[in-house]
Amino acid sequence: MRSSIGRGAALVIGLAMILALAQACAPAPEPTAGAPTVSESTAAAAAVASDRADLIGNWEGRVEVAGQEIITRMAFEADGDGLKGTVDFPQQNVNGIPLDVATFADGKLHVEVLPAPRTAVFDGALAGDAIAGTFEQAGYKGAFELARVKAEAPPYAAEEVTFRNGDITLAGTLTLPEGQGPFPAVVLITGSGASTRDEELFGFKVFGVLADHLTWQGIAVLRYDDRGVGGSSGGSAGDTSETFAGDVAAAVAYLEGRPEIAAGKIGLLGHSEGGLIALIVATGGTAGLAVEPDDVAFVVLMAGPGLPGDKLIVEQGEAIAKAGGASAEEVARQKAMQEQIAAAALTGEGWDAVEAKLRQAYEEAAAALTDEQKQAVGDLDAWVQQMVDAQMAVSQSGWMKFFLSYDPAPALEKLRQPALALFGERDLQVPAESNRAAVEAALKRGGNADYEIVVIPEANHLFQLAETGSPTEYATLSPEFAPGFLSTVSDWILAHTR
């Protein structure tokens, strides 16, 4: 859900997260050496281009610093006569940080990220398909190593596409199976938080892996960047699930115009909040959609909520607090805080009291940091203010008000398309027991004649095998789905599109 991963207030303390929080643009230093002659310039450019070719591409490895081992990815590409690139720290769900400085000559790599005083510096040497060297940031020194990622082209077509919803341009990837079409198709709808088309969370490319599997099985897949992310335009705090439903409807309309896609066999798969969005589109739940409910052939709800938002957010917070070992008193305080935020968001009253409680909570969190963490954070008062401001912005957003007020039951009762509802047994964000029961009860009340509900054993909200299901565990888990999940989805879709 958008409230918990992308737009939530949870904080992961770590060097990579500090990088993300401190991110700013720094100008590259001006050259000071004299201008070379034409012949010198030509020779130098050729040497740089030759060196640069050895580096361009994707690299993955780790940074070891301050007793931590942080998974690290870098991507380099040509930028005129130089280089540009990005760095990812997937364990902290921090991706796409631009490199402020990237130079490579004579096999030596120098990278700088962020301006002083938080500049992170990588100095390494290339040896074959590996880079190793030193890392330094804010007085911390360590080592890093990266290996080239050699991607093999899949035996199916992957096309970069764009489509429009009014003034918004949405960019995505359409994967088409081998062989002669037309093919059944599915639009993937991300969960909460501004996400790329792969819905990558803590190094797990949820939709990237899912799209690959479905396409191998003969199902075309359209996945796209959310508004304001990657190649998609737009995006604002006022966007709601209804806003995103318009984007999904535009995606369906786009597929209807593709000759490779089978008419009448386009469905929706929504993860978490994406499930709510799928229901809105499939039932015509908002005005001005580019398609009608009859244009949607089936619906897959992947941890889609069955409870109203204000009830779900309270149950979610309570479950996560308990899994984190919170005392009964702490759990009760967490529950009261969530209820207070929900009440203020729905009524518009009581925000001063909410802000005061948030400030108290973050001040207590700051006081509990270790000396090393405090040194890394820097100005604790500024950090507290930043956290309070961010949480208040989320809580007072149009998105939050809509989410808390939305009850999926009427849409589920209205749903006439075949439906598959999947839940993770250990999901704490959309707890399986209560939400499964609510979804099934609503489908029964509405008389849906073709639905299936599956609970994946030991799976969390991302449908990984999990110990506790807590979001704090995501970064430690293998980036793969629980056994049986992928085949359950593909087998069901194929059975309903033959």
Domains in the chain with CATH codes: 42-148 (2.40.128.20), 157-308+406-495 (3.40.50.1820), 309-402 (no CATH)
Average pLDDT over residues 72-100: 86
Q: Is the pLDDT of residue 12 over 80?
A: no
Task: Give me the count of residues in the chain.
Answer: 498
Q: 348-362, 369-383, 424-438: which has the minimum mean pLDDT?
A: 369-383
Greater pLDDT, 219 or 192: 219
Q: Supply 341's token pair.
A: 């935020």
Q: Is the pLDDT of residue 102 over 50?
A: yes
Greater pLDDT, 90 or 399: 399
- Give, in order, the Cα–Cα distances in Å from 413 to each of 282, 306, 308, 419, 441: 12, 11, 14, 12, 9
**Pairing between β-strand 200-201 and β-strand 168-176 as defined by DSSP bridges:** unpaired
Confidence of residue 51 (pLDDT cuts 50, 70, 90): low
The number of CA neighbours under 13 Å toward the Cβ of 226 is: 25
Q: What is the dihedral of CA 206, 208, 209, 213, to 10 degrees?
A: 130
Pair 402, 308: CB distance under 8 Å: no
pLDDT at position 114 is 81
Q: Is the pLDDT of residue 36 over 50?
A: no
Residues 397-442: tens digit of each pLDDT: 999 999 999 999 999 999 999 999 999 999 999 999 999 999 999 9
Neighbouring residues of 269: CB distance < 8 A, sequence distance ≥ 6 = 186, 187, 188, 189, 210, 278, 299, 300, 302, 489
Q: Which residue do the tokens 């004299």 mark?
A: 34
Greater pLDDT, 143 or 37: 143
pTM above 0.85, yes or no: no
Greater pLDDT, 98 or 436: 436
Question: Whole-number mean pLDDT of the chain?
Answer: 88
pLDDT at position 224 is 98
Confidence of residue 119 (pLDDT cuts 50, 70, 90): confident
Confidence of residue 319 (pLDDT cuts 50, 70, 90): very high
Residue 248 CB-density burial (10 A; 0-12 exposed, 13-18 middle, 19+ buried): buried
Average pLDDT over residues 8-16: 29
Average pLDDT over residues 231-253: 95
The C-alpha atoms of residue 16 and residue 90 are separated, in whole angstroms, by: 9
Greater pLDDT, 373 or 496: 496
Pair 165, 247: CB distance under 8 Å: yes
The C-alpha atoms of residue 188 and residue 432 are separated, in whole angstroms, by: 21
Q: Is the pLDDT of residue 455 over 50?
A: yes
Confidence of residue 22 (pLDDT cuts 50, 70, 90): very low
Average pLDDT over residues 373-395: 90
Instruction: Identify the three-state secondary structure at position 226.
Output: coil
Confidence of residue 7 (pLDDT cuts 50, 70, 90): very low
Greater pLDDT, 97 or 302: 302
**Pairing between β-strand 108-113 and β-strand 120-127 as defined by DSSP bridges:** antiparallel
What is the percentage of the chain residues whose pLDDT exceeds 90?
73
pLDDT at position 375 is 85
Q: 33-37, 85-89, 207-211, 416-420: which has the minimum mean pLDDT?
A: 33-37
Residue 233 is given by DSSP the state -
Residues 143-184: tens digit of each pLDDT: 999 999 987 788 899 999 999 999 999 999 999 999 999 999
Greater pLDDT, 39 or 7: 39
What is the percentage of the chain residues whose pLDDT exceeds 70?
89
DSSP state string for 74-107: EEEEEETTEEEEEEEEGGGTEEEEEPSEEEEETT
Confidence of residue 11 (pLDDT cuts 50, 70, 90): very low
Confidence of residue 133 (pLDDT cuts 50, 70, 90): very high
Q: Is the pLDDT of residue 33 over 70?
A: no
Q: Is the pLDDT of residue 43 over 60?
A: no
Confidence of residue 258 (pLDDT cuts 50, 70, 90): very high
Q: Supply 36's token pair.
A: 């070379």
Confidence of residue 215 (pLDDT cuts 50, 70, 90): very high
